[in-house]
Structure 1
Amino acid sequence: MIEEIRIADLGVIGAAHVALGPGLTVVTGETGAGKTMVLTALSLLLGGKADPATVRTGSAGASVEGRVVLEPGHPALERASDAGGSVDDDGSLLLVRTVSAGGDAGSGRSRAFVGGRSVPQGVLAELAEQLVTVHGQADQARLRAPAHQRAALDEFAGPEHARTLTDYRDAWSGRARLQAELDELVARAQERSREAELLRLGLAEVERVDPQPDEDVELAAEEQRLAHAEDLRVAAATAHTALAGENDGASDALTGVELVEQARRALEHVASHDATLAELGRRVAEAGYLLADIATELSAYADDLHADPRRLEVVNQRRAELGTLTRAYGSDVAEVLDWAQTAGLRLLELEGGGQRIEDLRTELADLDARIAALAATLSATRADAAQRLAAAVSAELAGLAMAGAQVHVEVRPADQPGPWGADDVEMLLVPHAGAPARPLAKGASGGELSRVMLALEVALAHGAGADRPGTFVFDEVDAGVGGRAAVEVGRRLAALAGDAQVIVVTHLAQVAAFADRHLVVTKSVREGVDVVTASDVRSVTGDERVRELARMLSGQEDSDAARIHAAELLELSDVGR
């Protein structure tokens, strides 16, 4: 239930406090007084579009604050909590919307708050779906649309039907996804075949060459050795001679190893007399051992190294083969091997495309059968609900001064099934006995459509298993209605308010007389500018309420005849309820 709304600088409203409550609340006032701005404020709280043009002239921005009282466990509380909002100890939730004025850079922006936390505008809209049902003249026009009529029937059909409809929509969406995947696979079949063939050729070439990890690096090193074998042998032999001398000992020159050995012996001879020379002697000895080992390895290297043109040719040929692979599939053998692994997995995927197509066709066939079964269930429950809804709305119309009027709800097979099922739904109105049934879209006047919408709303509110928001807002639901019909509209609104909070903006005294709370928006003038202040939106009772009803009846609140009529309406509303 919406407990209160505070408005600041919205349209002609400078500041207003709209106190609401349970039951039926009506909002009345002269044209231009600001009734529309009250609904605009409510729309902002419910996530409606923000228009900078609605900001009061001369103000930097407008703000609307609403307090909603919810029962523990209400789904709106969970959504608010998910958004980071907090709930007061008394179970009330604070909603705030601000709109900045246009004209400056970055102006016209809107901000929303839930439970003290800034949230996207969409969060307010989500909460609105769980809190409030709004009906205005635009909704009456939408009632002419078959899709709107089908949605109303689905709502009336109850929660089990709603679950079936959800299952159907999920299946329908799933089918669309599978069909899109199948269409893509079929469309790309030739392209996939070409890709698979190229991968097979590439993998066959890699398999033929059979490159080994780091083979290209090793072959490059071997090629360098073989291509410069004589230079390498001469260098190794020369280094060996310098270190260890010729094997035949013909040279009288001391070798590097021998010179180091002389140094070692000289130092060793005096090592006992000085620790520093002893340490240097040890290091010279280590150098001698190292030089001897190097000399041995150089000798072995020179003995093993021979020019081998045939091996060089084999190495160069192998490197050429590897080069062909690396030019096509990577910069080196490592990248070629990585490509081969990835290509193998991709080839498995491509070769499985045909099987995937068959699997998809099987899945689609199964899903089509499920969709057909769910559609049949929806059609059956809609046909049953259509009879009950037609009876309920027709009964309500009888009480809305449309004696003999009937509403027929027809459920027919659609030309093509859709995400809503396989049915077209159409509501037809028989406005009076003996009149032909004609579609609401063509045969209903504005006044008749207003009463049909109200009758439908009452039927939905009391429908079997209906799960409806706890607040209903009607904007001039009585448009095109007058006389006894207006009285019955008021009576039905009061009946609807027996189980919910109902807020009505009306210009008919016959409707306003049935209210539990009557709010009047009046216009005052300050310095030539229309302003509605907090004191101008007030709850009227007693004689003040009689005066307001008299004004609505005749435009003259002080007319004795109008006041008598107003008192009679109030008495009639008490008796009628």
Structure 2
Amino acid sequence: MIDELRITDLGVINDATIALHPGFTVVTGETGAGKTMVVTGIGLLLGERADPRAVRNGAERARVEGRFRDVAPALVARVEDAGGELDDGGTGPELLVARHLTAAGRSRAYLGGSSVPAAVCADVTSHLITIHGQSEQVRLAASDRQREILDRFAGAALAAPLGEYRSRYAERRSTAAELTELRDAAQARAREADLLAFGLAEIEKVAPEAGEDVTLAAEAERLQSADDLRLVATSALAALAGSDDEAGGAMTDVGMARKALDGQGDAEITALAGRLAEVSYALGDVAADLARYLDRLDAEPGRLEWIASRRSALQRLTRKYGATADEVIAWSADAAARLATLDSSDERIAALTERVTVLDAELAALAGRITAERGRAATAFSEQVLGELAALAMPHARLVFALTTGELGPHGADHVDLLFSANPGSEPRSLARVASGGELSRVRLALEVVLAADAEHQTLVFDEVDAGVGGRVAVEIGRRLAALSRHAQVVVVTHLAQVAAFADQHYVVVKADDGQVTTSGVLPVAEEERAAELARMMAGLETTDSALAHAGELVELAAATRRTG
């Protein structure tokens, strides 16, 4: 429920604060005074599009602030998730919602003191306020809106199967989308699988090993210089051990030096002889290793040709699947995993097809339950609305929720059409085609009165609910709005005294003109001034004695209605 609404520099309203109480509040004023700016301001709090032309002439920005109490815990959680918080208003937590609009076209929304996108603000306030204006009458003619109203009346009995249906429908839609994607891509997957299989077979045939290309390149380089290496190794071996046809070499010289020093009996000479022995052993080891190296060079006559062939096979792979043997091996692993996924697509298609079949059966069963519940609700709803229409001076009206079952959709299989006739003998037809503006206003009000039990702690705003009516019908509209206000906070912008008389609280929009700028303010009407304001509404600019008398009668009638409930 909204406790206070403040509007600054919006339209012709300079600065106005409206303190709202539970029950029925009416806003009146002369044509062009700015009554609709009250509704426009509330609409901004609901996240409606901000029109910079609504900023008052000469002002930089317009501001609208609303203070709410009795906010449901679920909505409090949404406010906190958005970074806002509730204030301590003394009588309980209060939520402050604001919308700022600049003349340059920039708009900002605030929820619980935190700046949020307008859509986030609307997500909360839409559960607190509902505006019924001319646009709602247009919406009422749409089948989707008529279905929403019927489902709201049906309540929990429909909510359970409908919630389950929507969950299944969403799953069916995502499952069918995946199935379609897999089927459409079947040829592409087959081509990809063939390419992957070919590549894996080609790699498997060569069977590269990790780092093999690097190892073979080094060995090839060594073998390509074998002649030079053989000459170097032979020369080194000859220097150590002498040539094959003559003795000598370093090993012989060292041996002769060691033999000369052996057995002299001198400790220092003996030590030097030991060192020469170590040198002799080391030279023998090196000479043996050189001999073995030369033997290996001579033992691999076809090795270089084999290495060249092997490197050529590896290069064919590295041109396609990676720059190195290691990258080729990695591609092979990835390709094998991808191929396994592609091979499982047929199994996935079969599983998805089966799931769609199951979901279709479940949806059909749930849709049948939904249709049955809607049928029961439609009968009861129509009867109650007809009772309200009779009270609104439409005793012969007929209102029928016609259900046509068709293909399954997001909300079931039902197409809802609200059929209406105002006169006896007329066959009910679609509401949008046969109802006048005044009749639509009364049908809309009758629907809201019946649905009022679900509107606890909610604010209902009516703009031009009395369009196209007057006289006794206007009195009945005022009476029904008063009845509606026993269940919800009701705010009505009206030009009819017959409606305004039933309000618990009355505000009037007063216009002032200094010759250059028109400014309006919103003032409360004291109880003792009600009759004069109602008389002005009935008589125009001049209040006549008869208008005052008639206004007095309206005030007494409305007071009696409020007392009797």
- TM-superposed deviation, 1:207: 1.4
Q: Which residue of 2 aligns with 1:443?
A: 434
Q: Which residue of 2 aligns with 1:189?
A: 186
Q: Contact conserved, 1:179 with 1:364, CA < 8 A, in 2?
A: yes
Deviations 1:536-568 (A, max 9, x none): 311112332211111111114532111111111
Q: Contact conserved, 1:85 with 1:114, CA < 8 A, in 2?
A: yes
- TM-superposed deviation, 1:150: 1.1
Q: Which residue of 2 aligns with 1:550?
A: 535
- TM-superposed deviation, 1:297: 5.0
2:194 is equivalent to residue 203 of structure 1? no
Deviations 1:354-373 (A, max 9, x none): 11111111010001011101
Q: Which residue of 1 aligns with 2:473?
A: 485
- TM-superposed deviation, 1:169: 2.1
Letter in 2 for 1:485: V
Deviations 1:285-313 (A, max 9, x none): x9999999777655543443337341211
What does 1:60-139 correspond to in 2, within 5 Å?
Answer: 60-71=60-71, 73-89=72-88, 90-102=92-104, 108-139=105-136
- TM-superposed deviation, 1:166: 2.5
What does 1:123-162 correspond to in 2, within 5 Å?
Answer: 123-162=120-159
2:508 is equivalent to residue 508 of structure 1? no
Structure 2 stretches lacking a partner, 5+ long: 259-266, 269-277
CA change 1:474–1:312 in 2 (3 A) is same
Q: Which residue of 1 aligns with 2:517?
A: 529
Separation in 2, partners of 1:287, 1:87: 95
2:405 is equivalent to residue 413 of structure 1? yes
2:532 is equivalent to residue 559 of structure 1? no
Deviations 1:461-483 (A, max 9, x none): 23xxx466611011111101111
Deviating beyond 6 angstroms after TM superposition, the runs of 4 or more aligned structure 1 residues are 252-258, 286-296
Separation in 2, partners of 1:294, 1:384: 107
- TM-superposed deviation, 1:76: 1.7
Separation in 1, partners of 2:61, 2:284: 95
Q: Contact conserved, 2:502 with 2:558, CA < 8 A, in 1?
A: yes
CA change 1:25–1:60 in 2 (3 A) is same
CA change 1:13–1:308 in 2 (3 A) is same
Identity of aligned residues (%): 50
What does 1:307-318 correspond to in 2, within 5 Å?
Answer: 308-318=300-310
- TM-superposed deviation, 1:406: 2.4
- TM-superposed deviation, 1:28: 0.6
Q: Which residue of 2 aligns with 1:423?
A: 414
Deviations 1:314-354 (A, max 9, x none): 11111111111111211111111111111111111111121
Separation in 2, partners of 1:474, 1:356: 54
Letter in 1 for 2:42: L
Indicate which of 425, 431, 444 corresponds to 1:434: 425
2:564 is equivalent to residue 576 of structure 1? no
Q: Which residue of 2 aligns with 1:278?
A: none
Q: Contact conserved, 1:547 with 1:557, CA < 8 A, in 2?
A: no
Separation in 2, partners of 1:131, 1:494: 19
CA change 1:408–1:485 in 2 (3 A) is same
CA change 1:331–1:566 in 2 (3 A) is same
Separation in 2, partners of 1:313, 1:238: 27
Q: Contact conserved, 1:557 with 1:563, CA < 8 A, in 2?
A: no
Letter in 1 for 2:361: A
Q: Which residue of 2 aligns with 1:276?
A: none
- TM-superposed deviation, 1:253: 7.4
Separation in 1, partners of 2:490, 2:357: 49
Q: Which residue of 2 aligns with 1:52?
A: 52
- TM-superposed deviation, 1:164: 2.1
CA change 1:524–1:228 in 2 (3 A) is same
Q: Contact conserved, 1:257 with 1:291, CA < 8 A, in 2?
A: no
Separation in 1, partners of 2:429, 2:560: 36
- Cα root mean square deviation, aligned: 2.7
What does 1:308-457 correspond to in 2, within 5 Å?
Answer: 308-414=300-406, 416-457=407-448
Which segment is superposed worse, 197-206 or 164-173? 164-173
CA change 1:27–1:309 in 2 (3 A) is same
Q: Contact conserved, 2:438 with 2:466, CA < 8 A, in 1?
A: yes
CA change 1:246–1:109 in 2 (3 A) is farther
Separation in 2, partners of 1:381, 1:255: 116
Deviations 1:441-500 (A, max 9, x none): 2111111110000000111223xxx46661101111110111111111111111111011
Separation in 1, partners of 2:225, 2:456: 93
Which segment is superposed worse, 213-222 or 552-561? 552-561
Q: How many residues align?
A: 541
Letter in 2 for 1:76: L
2:21 is equivalent to residue 33 of structure 1? no
Q: Contact conserved, 2:495 with 2:537, CA < 8 A, in 1?
A: yes
- TM-superposed deviation, 1:396: 0.7
Separation in 2, partners of 1:70, 1:79: 15
Separation in 2, partners of 1:52, 1:33: 19
CA change 1:191–1:469 in 2 (3 A) is farther
Which segment is superposed worse, 494-503 or 299-308? 299-308
Separation in 2, partners of 1:15, 1:330: 74
SS at match of 2:136: helix
- TM-superposed deviation, 1:123: 1.1
Separation in 2, partners of 1:467, 1:499: 7
Separation in 2, partners of 1:346, 1:257: 69
Q: Contact conserved, 2:86 with 2:94, CA < 8 A, in 1?
A: yes
Q: Contact conserved, 1:75 with 1:130, CA < 8 A, in 2?
A: no
CA change 1:210–1:12 in 2 (3 A) is same
- TM-superposed deviation, 1:390: 0.3
Letter in 2 for 1:537: V
CA change 1:58–1:294 in 2 (3 A) is farther
Structure 1 stretches lacking a partner, 5+ long: 103-107, 262-267, 270-285
Q: Contact conserved, 1:551 with 1:557, CA < 8 A, in 2?
A: yes
Separation in 2, partners of 1:306, 1:55: 100
Separation in 2, partners of 1:254, 1:121: 98
Separation in 1, partners of 2:366, 2:218: 73
Q: Contact conserved, 2:251 with 2:280, CA < 8 A, in 1?
A: no
CA change 1:496–1:70 in 2 (3 A) is same
CA change 1:100–1:473 in 2 (3 A) is same
- TM-superposed deviation, 1:230: 1.7
Deviations 1:37-69 (A, max 9, x none): 111111111111111111111111111111111
CA change 1:57–1:294 in 2 (3 A) is farther
TM-score, normalisation: structure 2:
0.90
SS at match of 2:417: strand
Q: Contact conserved, 2:456 with 2:488, CA < 8 A, in 1?
A: no
Q: Which residue of 1 aligns with 2:42?
A: 42
Separation in 2, partners of 1:49, 1:241: 101
